[in-house]
Amino acid sequence: MLSTDPVPSPAKKRVACVLGGLGGIGHSVSRVLDQNCWTVIIGSRNAAGLNQAADSSHVVPLPGSPSDPAVWAALQNLAERSFADCIDCIIVSTGNLEFVSSLDMTRGQVEAAMDAHFYPALNALQYATRQARRNPDSRCVVIFVGSTLCHEAEMDAGPYVVAKHALLGLYRAACEDQFGLESRLAVKIICPPNVDTPLWTKAGLATGVPRPEGPDDSTEEPLKAETIAQQIYDQITQSFSKWEI
Ligand SMILES: NC(=O)c1ccc[n+]([C@@H]2O[C@H](COP(=O)([O-])OP(=O)(O)OC[C@H]3O[C@@H](n4cnc5c(N)ncnc54)[C@H](OP(=O)(O)O)[C@@H]3O)[C@@H](O)[C@H]2O)c1
Protein backbone atom coordinates (compact mmCIF):
# COMPACT_ATOMS: atom_id res chain seq x y z
CA MET A 1 0.00 0.00 0.00
CA LEU A 2 1.26 3.44 -0.85
CA SER A 3 2.07 5.60 2.13
CA THR A 4 0.13 8.83 2.41
CA ASP A 5 2.78 10.33 4.68
CA PRO A 6 4.27 13.45 3.14
CA VAL A 7 7.75 12.56 1.98
CA PRO A 8 9.97 15.60 1.74
CA SER A 9 11.48 15.65 -1.74
CA PRO A 10 15.16 16.53 -1.77
CA ALA A 11 15.71 20.19 -2.69
CA LYS A 12 16.80 20.43 -6.32
CA LYS A 13 20.40 21.49 -6.53
CA ARG A 14 20.54 24.39 -8.97
CA VAL A 15 23.05 24.37 -11.78
CA ALA A 16 24.97 27.37 -13.12
CA CYS A 17 27.32 27.67 -16.06
CA VAL A 18 29.93 30.38 -15.64
CA LEU A 19 31.73 31.33 -18.85
CA GLY A 20 35.13 32.83 -18.12
CA GLY A 21 34.83 31.02 -14.80
CA LEU A 22 38.59 30.88 -14.22
CA GLY A 23 38.89 34.66 -14.57
CA GLY A 24 38.65 37.28 -11.82
CA ILE A 25 34.90 37.98 -11.72
CA GLY A 26 33.95 34.53 -13.05
CA HIS A 27 35.99 32.76 -10.39
CA SER A 28 34.50 34.88 -7.60
CA VAL A 29 30.95 34.30 -8.76
CA SER A 30 31.63 30.56 -9.07
CA ARG A 31 32.78 30.55 -5.45
CA VAL A 32 29.64 32.36 -4.25
CA LEU A 33 27.46 29.89 -6.16
CA ASP A 34 29.41 26.93 -4.78
CA GLN A 35 29.08 28.29 -1.23
CA ASN A 36 25.33 28.48 -1.81
CA CYS A 37 25.19 24.82 -2.86
CA TRP A 38 24.87 25.32 -6.61
CA THR A 39 26.51 22.91 -9.01
CA VAL A 40 28.91 25.02 -11.05
CA ILE A 41 29.96 24.29 -14.64
CA ILE A 42 33.03 26.31 -15.51
CA GLY A 43 33.62 27.39 -19.10
CA SER A 44 37.16 28.21 -20.15
CA ARG A 45 39.53 27.90 -23.11
CA ASN A 46 42.24 26.86 -20.67
CA ALA A 47 41.94 23.05 -20.49
CA ALA A 48 44.83 22.64 -18.06
CA GLY A 49 43.43 25.29 -15.71
CA LEU A 50 40.00 23.61 -15.85
CA ASN A 51 41.42 20.21 -14.94
CA GLN A 52 43.25 21.76 -12.00
CA ALA A 53 40.06 23.53 -10.83
CA ALA A 54 38.03 20.32 -11.18
CA ASP A 55 40.65 18.40 -9.12
CA SER A 56 40.51 20.81 -6.22
CA SER A 57 36.76 21.55 -6.05
CA HIS A 58 33.37 20.27 -7.20
CA VAL A 59 33.23 22.19 -10.45
CA VAL A 60 32.28 20.58 -13.75
CA PRO A 61 34.59 21.58 -16.62
CA LEU A 62 33.31 22.89 -19.96
CA PRO A 63 36.39 23.35 -22.16
CA GLY A 64 36.53 25.49 -25.31
CA SER A 65 35.70 28.93 -26.57
CA PRO A 66 32.11 30.03 -25.85
CA SER A 67 31.90 31.71 -29.25
CA ASP A 68 32.23 28.20 -30.75
CA PRO A 69 28.90 26.34 -31.24
CA ALA A 70 30.65 23.04 -30.30
CA VAL A 71 30.85 24.22 -26.67
CA TRP A 72 27.08 24.71 -26.58
CA ALA A 73 26.45 21.30 -28.07
CA ALA A 74 28.69 19.88 -25.32
CA LEU A 75 26.74 21.83 -22.68
CA GLN A 76 23.43 20.50 -23.95
CA ASN A 77 24.79 16.99 -23.91
CA LEU A 78 25.97 17.43 -20.33
CA ALA A 79 22.69 19.03 -19.27
CA GLU A 80 20.59 16.23 -20.77
CA ARG A 81 22.82 13.54 -19.26
CA SER A 82 23.25 14.94 -15.79
CA PHE A 83 20.86 17.82 -15.08
CA ALA A 84 17.46 16.87 -16.59
CA ASP A 85 18.06 19.32 -19.44
CA CYS A 86 17.94 22.28 -17.08
CA ILE A 87 20.74 24.80 -16.62
CA ASP A 88 19.31 27.33 -14.14
CA CYS A 89 21.72 30.15 -14.80
CA ILE A 90 24.35 31.16 -17.36
CA ILE A 91 26.79 33.91 -16.48
CA VAL A 92 28.84 35.39 -19.31
CA SER A 93 32.02 36.75 -17.77
CA THR A 94 34.43 36.53 -20.69
CA GLY A 95 36.52 39.24 -22.28
CA ASN A 96 39.80 41.05 -22.57
CA LEU A 97 40.89 44.66 -22.88
CA GLU A 98 43.39 45.92 -25.42
CA PHE A 99 44.20 49.52 -26.14
CA VAL A 100 43.46 50.33 -29.76
CA SER A 101 42.41 53.76 -30.92
CA SER A 102 38.95 53.99 -32.43
CA LEU A 103 40.59 55.79 -35.35
CA ASP A 104 42.96 52.90 -36.08
CA MET A 105 40.94 49.81 -35.19
CA THR A 106 40.68 47.15 -37.86
CA ARG A 107 37.89 44.78 -38.75
CA GLY A 108 39.96 41.89 -37.32
CA GLN A 109 40.37 43.66 -33.98
CA VAL A 110 36.65 44.40 -33.74
CA GLU A 111 35.83 40.80 -34.62
CA ALA A 112 38.23 39.54 -31.95
CA ALA A 113 36.53 41.75 -29.35
CA MET A 114 33.10 40.53 -30.48
CA ASP A 115 34.33 36.93 -30.11
CA ALA A 116 35.41 37.64 -26.57
CA HIS A 117 32.44 39.73 -25.38
CA PHE A 118 29.43 39.50 -27.68
CA TYR A 119 29.16 36.02 -29.24
CA PRO A 120 29.43 34.13 -25.92
CA ALA A 121 26.45 36.22 -24.74
CA LEU A 122 24.45 35.67 -27.94
CA ASN A 123 25.11 31.92 -27.72
CA ALA A 124 24.08 31.89 -24.05
CA LEU A 125 20.83 33.67 -24.84
CA GLN A 126 20.05 31.31 -27.71
CA TYR A 127 20.87 28.29 -25.55
CA ALA A 128 18.58 29.46 -22.74
CA THR A 129 15.77 30.26 -25.17
CA ARG A 130 15.95 26.82 -26.78
CA GLN A 131 16.06 25.16 -23.37
CA ALA A 132 12.94 27.07 -22.28
CA ARG A 133 11.11 25.94 -25.42
CA ARG A 134 12.24 22.32 -25.07
CA ASN A 135 11.67 22.06 -21.35
CA PRO A 136 8.67 24.00 -20.00
CA ASP A 137 9.67 23.07 -16.43
CA SER A 138 13.00 24.84 -16.71
CA ARG A 139 13.82 28.34 -15.50
CA CYS A 140 16.99 30.16 -16.53
CA VAL A 141 18.63 33.46 -15.61
CA VAL A 142 21.18 34.71 -18.13
CA ILE A 143 23.54 37.39 -16.84
CA PHE A 144 25.89 39.35 -19.06
CA VAL A 145 28.86 41.01 -17.42
CA GLY A 146 28.95 44.33 -19.24
CA SER A 147 30.91 47.42 -18.25
CA THR A 148 30.41 51.14 -17.78
CA LEU A 149 31.76 51.15 -21.36
CA CYS A 150 28.46 49.59 -22.50
CA HIS A 151 27.01 53.09 -22.42
CA GLU A 152 30.06 55.35 -22.24
CA ALA A 153 33.05 55.52 -24.59
CA GLU A 154 36.82 55.69 -24.49
CA MET A 155 38.50 56.40 -27.81
CA ASP A 156 41.60 54.46 -26.71
CA ALA A 157 39.73 51.16 -26.31
CA GLY A 158 37.80 51.14 -29.60
CA PRO A 159 37.08 47.40 -30.11
CA TYR A 160 36.18 46.91 -26.44
CA VAL A 161 33.72 49.81 -26.55
CA VAL A 162 32.15 48.55 -29.79
CA ALA A 163 31.73 45.01 -28.41
CA LYS A 164 30.34 46.23 -25.07
CA HIS A 165 27.86 48.54 -26.81
CA ALA A 166 26.76 45.58 -28.95
CA LEU A 167 26.31 43.55 -25.77
CA LEU A 168 24.07 46.22 -24.27
CA GLY A 169 22.09 46.26 -27.54
CA LEU A 170 21.63 42.48 -27.32
CA TYR A 171 20.46 42.79 -23.72
CA ARG A 172 17.94 45.50 -24.66
CA ALA A 173 16.62 43.47 -27.59
CA ALA A 174 16.24 40.42 -25.34
CA CYS A 175 14.34 42.45 -22.73
CA GLU A 176 12.04 43.91 -25.38
CA ASP A 177 11.09 40.53 -26.80
CA GLN A 178 11.69 37.23 -25.05
CA PHE A 179 9.53 35.19 -27.41
CA GLY A 180 6.83 35.07 -24.71
CA LEU A 181 9.18 33.21 -22.39
CA GLU A 182 9.53 35.86 -19.66
CA SER A 183 7.96 33.61 -17.03
CA ARG A 184 10.80 31.12 -17.56
CA LEU A 185 13.72 33.17 -18.85
CA ALA A 186 15.29 36.28 -17.32
CA VAL A 187 18.05 38.27 -19.03
CA LYS A 188 20.13 40.70 -16.99
CA ILE A 189 23.23 42.82 -17.40
CA ILE A 190 25.57 44.17 -14.80
CA CYS A 191 27.83 47.09 -15.76
CA PRO A 192 30.71 47.44 -13.29
CA PRO A 193 33.39 50.12 -13.28
CA ASN A 194 37.04 49.04 -12.82
CA VAL A 195 37.47 45.75 -11.00
CA ASP A 196 40.69 44.38 -9.56
CA THR A 197 41.19 41.44 -11.95
CA PRO A 198 43.78 40.50 -14.62
CA LEU A 199 41.63 42.18 -17.28
CA TRP A 200 42.22 45.48 -15.51
CA THR A 201 45.63 45.03 -13.93
CA LYS A 202 47.20 43.39 -17.02
CA ALA A 203 45.27 45.25 -19.72
CA GLY A 204 47.23 45.76 -22.93
CA LEU A 205 49.83 43.07 -22.13
CA ALA A 206 48.90 40.74 -25.02
CA THR A 207 49.51 43.37 -27.68
CA GLY A 208 52.21 45.21 -25.76
CA VAL A 209 50.28 48.49 -26.03
CA PRO A 210 50.22 50.02 -22.55
CA ARG A 211 47.31 51.90 -21.03
CA PRO A 212 47.40 55.35 -22.65
CA GLU A 213 48.19 58.23 -20.35
CA GLY A 214 45.66 60.97 -19.93
CA PRO A 215 42.59 61.90 -17.99
CA ASP A 216 40.51 58.76 -17.61
CA ASP A 217 39.21 56.64 -14.78
CA SER A 218 42.37 54.53 -14.39
CA THR A 219 43.30 56.35 -11.19
CA GLU A 220 40.08 55.33 -9.48
CA GLU A 221 40.41 52.55 -6.91
CA PRO A 222 39.10 49.35 -8.58
CA LEU A 223 36.31 47.37 -6.94
CA LYS A 224 36.92 43.87 -5.59
CA ALA A 225 35.73 40.97 -7.79
CA GLU A 226 33.93 39.58 -4.71
CA THR A 227 31.72 42.70 -4.58
CA ILE A 228 30.59 42.21 -8.19
CA ALA A 229 30.13 38.48 -7.60
CA GLN A 230 27.74 39.17 -4.73
CA GLN A 231 25.78 41.64 -6.91
CA ILE A 232 25.48 38.98 -9.60
CA TYR A 233 24.31 36.38 -7.09
CA ASP A 234 21.70 38.83 -5.73
CA GLN A 235 20.35 39.31 -9.28
CA ILE A 236 20.03 35.56 -9.71
CA THR A 237 18.20 35.01 -6.43
CA GLN A 238 15.86 37.94 -7.18
CA SER A 239 14.66 36.23 -10.35
CA PHE A 240 14.14 32.89 -8.66
CA SER A 241 12.21 34.43 -5.77
CA LYS A 242 9.99 36.25 -8.27
CA TRP A 243 9.26 32.99 -10.10
CA GLU A 244 8.53 31.18 -6.86
CA ILE A 245 5.75 33.61 -5.78
N1 LIG B 1 38.09 44.08 -14.56
C2 LIG B 1 37.45 45.18 -14.87
O3 LIG B 1 37.90 46.31 -14.61
C4 LIG B 1 36.11 45.10 -15.54
C5 LIG B 1 35.29 46.23 -15.52
C6 LIG B 1 34.06 46.17 -16.16
C7 LIG B 1 33.66 45.02 -16.79
N8 LIG B 1 34.48 43.93 -16.80
C9 LIG B 1 34.02 42.75 -17.54
O10 LIG B 1 34.01 41.62 -16.70
C11 LIG B 1 34.13 40.44 -17.48
C12 LIG B 1 35.10 39.50 -16.79
O13 LIG B 1 36.37 40.08 -16.80
P14 LIG B 1 37.39 39.96 -15.57
O15 LIG B 1 37.59 41.31 -15.05
O16 LIG B 1 36.98 38.88 -14.67
O17 LIG B 1 38.71 39.60 -16.39
P18 LIG B 1 39.63 38.32 -16.39
O19 LIG B 1 40.06 37.98 -15.02
O20 LIG B 1 40.68 38.60 -17.41
O21 LIG B 1 38.66 37.14 -16.90
C22 LIG B 1 38.11 37.15 -18.17
C23 LIG B 1 38.11 35.73 -18.74
O24 LIG B 1 37.61 35.84 -20.07
C25 LIG B 1 38.16 34.79 -20.84
N26 LIG B 1 38.48 35.32 -22.17
C27 LIG B 1 39.38 36.25 -22.52
N28 LIG B 1 39.39 36.42 -23.84
C29 LIG B 1 38.46 35.57 -24.34
C30 LIG B 1 38.04 35.25 -25.65
N31 LIG B 1 38.57 35.83 -26.73
N32 LIG B 1 37.07 34.34 -25.81
C33 LIG B 1 36.55 33.70 -24.73
N34 LIG B 1 36.93 33.93 -23.46
C35 LIG B 1 37.88 34.86 -23.28
C36 LIG B 1 39.42 34.30 -20.12
O37 LIG B 1 39.15 32.96 -19.76
P38 LIG B 1 39.96 31.69 -20.33
O39 LIG B 1 41.29 32.17 -20.80
O40 LIG B 1 40.01 30.81 -19.12
O41 LIG B 1 39.10 31.14 -21.42
C42 LIG B 1 39.49 35.14 -18.87
O43 LIG B 1 39.81 34.39 -17.72
C44 LIG B 1 34.54 40.90 -18.88
O45 LIG B 1 33.43 40.86 -19.73
C46 LIG B 1 34.95 42.34 -18.66
O47 LIG B 1 34.77 43.13 -19.81
C48 LIG B 1 35.68 43.93 -16.18
d(CA 197, CA 7): 46
In the chain, the percentage of residues whose pLDDT exceeds 90 is 78
65 within some domain: yes
Cβ pair 194, 200 in contact under 8 A? yes
Identify the CA nearest to 24 among candidates 211, 194, 192, 226. 226
CATH at 230: 3.40.50.720
Q: Which of 100, 96, 78, 95 is nearest to 87 (CA)?
A: 78
CA of 180 to the centre of ligand 1 (A): 31
115 lines ligand 1 (CB under 6 A): yes
In a domain, 228, yes or no: yes
CB atoms within 10 A of CB 145: 26
Q: Residue 8: inside a domain, yes or no?
A: no
Cα angle 174-25-78, degrees, rounded to a multiple of 5: 65
Q: Is the pLDDT of residue 21 over 60?
A: yes
Whether the CB of 166 sits within 6 Å of ligand 1:
no
The CA distance from 232 to 121, in Å, is 15
Mutate to test the pocket of ligand 1, among 65, 171, 197 (most ligand atoms within 8 A of CB): 197
How does residue 1 score in pLDDT terms, banded at 50, 70 and 90?
Answer: very low
Question: What 3-state DSSP class applies to 231?
Answer: helix
Give the DSSP letter string of 138-161. Answer: --EEEEEE--GGGTS--TTBHHHH
How many angstroms is it from 88 CA to the middle of ligand 1?
22
How does pLDDT run across 131-183, given as a tens digit for each residue? 999 999 999 999 999 999 999 999 999 999 999 999 999 999 999 888 888 88
Task: Give yes or no for a contact between 195 and 223, defined as CB atoms under 8 angstroms apart.
Answer: yes
Cβ-based burial of 231 (10 A; exposed 0-12, middle 13-18, buried ≥19): middle
- Where does 34-163 show beta strands of DSSP type E? 39-44, 60-63, 89-92, 140-145
CA of 147 to the centre of ligand 1 (A): 11
Is the residue at 126 inside a domain? yes
In angstroms, the CA 168 to CA 188 distance is 10
Domain count of the chain? 1
With respect to residue 141, please indicate whether it lies within any of the assigned structural domains.
Answer: yes
- Domain assignment present for residue 10? The answer is no
216 within domain boundaries: no
Tell me the per-residue pLDDT of 64-111, one tens digit each, with 9 for 90 and over.
999 999 999 999 999 999 999 999 999 999 999 999 999 999 999 999
Residue 104: domain span: 15-211+222-244
Q: Is position 9 within any domain?
A: no
